[in-house]
Amino acid sequence: METLSENTCFGGVQGVYKHASDACKCDMTFGLFLPAEAKDGPVPVLWYLSGLTCTHENAMTKAGAQGWAAEQGIALVFPDTSPRGEGVADHDDYDLGQGAGFYVNATQKPWSPHFNMWNYVAEELPALLTTNFAIDGERQAITGHSMGGHGALTLAMNLPGRFRSVSGFAPISNPTGADWGRKQLSAYLGDDESNWAQHDSTLMMRETGFDGPILIDTGTNDQFIKLLRPEALAEAMAARRQQVINRLQPGYDHSYFFVSSFMEDHVTFHAEHLWS
């Protein structure tokens, strides 16, 4: 693992690191904020999964999360959204290929050799973090924005017991029912839609739900709201009587102005459950 940068931040350290990934078969870069408490021992961790076109850097520099995490004494990890580099498949469309990994393990060519973001986020990166940093692997929570919210919700529901809480900022909530989803899932996983279900939070909510609390925020002026389909997930959560705070925020769009406006709420929400 190579240290690309480390900066003092709110009494802790914001680092950026690169390593050779076995899952993605390329170099992967991630950001990690460690609060001051990490000097004395392992701390809980909140995962932040980013959306389409993003890298590890977007939320790390725009979300304003470190100050709130420092107050709560928790770490933040910012993975990249896809494999990258020479020899990694890409596409001319911004919502497919590099920057658009959708947190799945691709089974179809040309994506399958590298696009294994599920294994990367669920297995490889957690093991690397707990081995090399003061991270408490028993106290994890997860959040994400847009495509990252989709990833956060589906990972949480497919990995029971892993995360104490999950939240989403304008998550892609029903990808099997919208163009942000059907396009990518068919490309990465093939045309058999039975293979898509575990990557749709609405379908997973109907099937299993989440054994813990959920917080979701979506802006009423979100320019992509028809692709996000928040109403489908809301109906599934209501039918299951899921423990959830589901909010529509008047006037907010899909940008990081929206994300940063409610970041304190999300970090505080997760800290309550990480420290309980």
Say whether the peptide bond before residue 213 is cis (omega within 30 degrees of 0): no
Question: How far apart are alpha carbons 85 and 70 in whole angstroms?
Answer: 33
Among the options 56, 254, 266, 270, which is catalytic? Answer: 254
Q: Which residue has the tokens 């914001």?
A: 14
Is 254 an active-site residue? Answer: yes
CB distance 48 to 143 below 8 Å: yes
Q: Which long-range contacts (CB under 8 A, 24 or more apart) does 6-11 make?
A: 9/33, 9/66, 9/70, 10/35, 10/66, 10/67, 10/69, 10/70, 11/35, 11/36, 11/70
Among the options 50, 146, 167, 173, which is catalytic? Answer: 146
Strand, helix or coil for residue 11: coil
Q: Which helix (H) or strand (E) holds 75?
A: strand 75-79
Strand, helix or coil for residue 165: coil
Is 5 an active-site residue? Answer: no
Is 150 an active-site residue? Answer: no
Active-site residues, by number, are 146, 222, 254
